[in-house]
Structure 1
Amino acid sequence: MNVRIAGVDEAGRGPLAGPIAVAAVILDPERPIDGLDDSKKLSERRREALFPVICERALAWRIEFVEAGEIDTLNILQATLTGMRRALQALAPAAGLALIDGNRLPRDLPCPARAIVGGDALEPAIMAASILAKVARDRRMVELHRDFPAYGFDAHKGYPSPAHLAALRMHGPCPAHRRSFAPVRESLSSLVRQVAPA
């Protein structure tokens, strides 16, 4: 029997707001998908087109979100590893081997695993996971924009763009912001200074 191999990747480690999205995908060798690549090398339109194809043809897939509050509690690395573990644990059918993009492996995985630096450019299953994670996270940031329109999450997806940093300085953080990240912390302390009595 062939071992079911899951690719695992994340999107959203660098932003100041929103969740990390982690995806795990077991591709079906009988149903190959044309056009897979590292999500960063694909246009938004191409990622959106591949998303339903991956979901439909994969043997199993799972997307997990680790929200801003949990990122602040755990730290960004541990939050990422936690999301990877959850995504793998939730796969049905289960994976027999996980190929994880990066150089760190989560603890307590449900199967053997291998870390692959640059895996999203090398392994089709990791490419598929990178696409699911990126598309799912971008969609979540568009939803957050509707709740908190002052920050422009639909445009920069929570990354520290000049417009985002300016909005942070003007409005302070919203509930979607990661308060453990330095620019968010600094915006909080500057707001405190502004409202403190002289």
Structure 2
Amino acid sequence: MPYEPPTHSVERSLRATLGAKIVAGVDEVGRGAWAGPVTVCAAVTGLRRAPEGLTDSKLIPAPRRAPMAALLADWVTSYALGHASVEEVDTLGMTASLRLAAVRALEGLPERPDAVILDGKHDYLGGPWRVRTVIKGDQSCVAVAAASVIAKVHRDAAMAELGAEHPPFRFADNAGYPSPVHRAALEELGPTPHHRLSWSYLDALPRWRHLKKVRAPADPGEQLGFDF
């Protein structure tokens, strides 16, 4: 399906209105997974022409994602990754975990950004960062699109490594997200140490329901396996 390539219009707006010289695009991956960390990438791209084919990672065919991420790693001005572990997700909830991972990513950049473009409509980052939320920013903003690709490829690779430890779960294929194979493995074997135990998938697994950690979700749908 044809799509409009991302632009620097939001970055230019933040430069004009806030005097922001360094603008970071931020995107996450893993929010809707049953297993694995939530990962956030912060990327600074300046105003250079984006590589051809750059867009939201979900719109890039799987065989092209890793080459695009490798290209971006050299093309961006800087980038950094931040993670929140499954233990942190279970303890803190998704919103707080997203903020924790995003702060870790932003603080990992060599220079502190003057402004941040956050994919989506909800500002889970907050002060003291100056944040502009952009719905579908991973499709429309160059820096956010770059962050989305780097984050997804990095997390997918990490989940594939975990999958080698737990072959029946096929993490290399599903990256810890809901799938029939993933559910069947859970029913037979129960959760691994890499599974989120506060999520509602355990309610449908009578043999393993006793393992569930009770915690009120911070987001609607947080425990339902949605990927916002």
- Deviation (angstroms), 1:39: 0.6
Matched, 1:45 2:59: no
Query: How far apart are the structure 1 equivalents of 2:87 and 2:127?
Result: 23
Structure 2 unmatched ranges of 5 or more:
1-18, 211-228
User: After the TM superposition, which residues 1-198 of structure 1 pair with which residues of structure 2 at under 5 Å, given as runs?
Assistant: 3-30=21-48, 32-105=50-123, 106-109=125-128, 111-184=129-202, 186-187=204-205, 189-191=206-208
More displaced, 52-61 or 121-130? 52-61
1:191, 1:180 → 2: CA distance?
12
Q: What SS does the aligned partner of 2:185 have?
A: helix
8 Å CA contact 1:101, 1:117 repeated in 2: yes
Q: Counterparts of 2:111 and 2:71 in 1: how far apart (Å)?
A: 18
Flag structure 1 segments of 5+ consecutive residues without an equivalent.
194-198
Given residue 41 of structure 1, which amino acid in structure 2 is its aligned partner? L
Q: Kindly, what percent of the aligned residue pairs are identical?
A: 33
1:173 deviates by 0.4
One-letter amino acid of the structure 1 residue matched with residue 36 of structure 2: G
Moved over 4 A (4+): none
Structure 1 residue 30 displacement after superposition: 4.2
Cα separation, 1, equivalents of 2:152 and 2:111: 23
CA distance in 2, matches of 1:47, 1:71: 26
TM-score (norm. length: structure 2): 0.78
**CA–CA distance in structure 1, aligned partners of residues 141 and 94 of structure 2:** 24
Q: CA deviation at 1:150?
A: 2.3
* Kept after mapping to 2: 8 A contact 1:177/1:184: no
Q: CA deviation at 1:190?
A: 2.0
Letter in 1 for 2:126: R
Contact 1:120 1:130 in 2 (8 A): yes
Once structures 1 and 2 are overlaid, which stretch shifts more, 80-89 or 117-126?
A: 80-89
Instruction: Tell me the amino acid that sits aligned with residue 207 of structure 2.
Output: S
Residues in 2 aligned to 1:192 and 1:178: alpha-carbon distance in whole angstroms: 13
Over aligned residues, Cα RMSD in angstroms? 1.8
CA drift of 1:83 comes to 1.0
Q: Structure 1, residues 8-57: CA drift from partner, whole Å, max 9, x if none?
A: 00011111001111100000334642221011100122211111111112
SS of 1:165's partner is: helix
Alpha-carbon distance in structure 1 between the residues aligned to 2:91 and 2:80: 23
Q: Is the 8 A contact 2:41 2:148 kept in 1?
A: yes
TM-score (norm 1): 0.89
Deviations 1:56-91 (A, max 9, x none): 121110011211111101112221122112211221
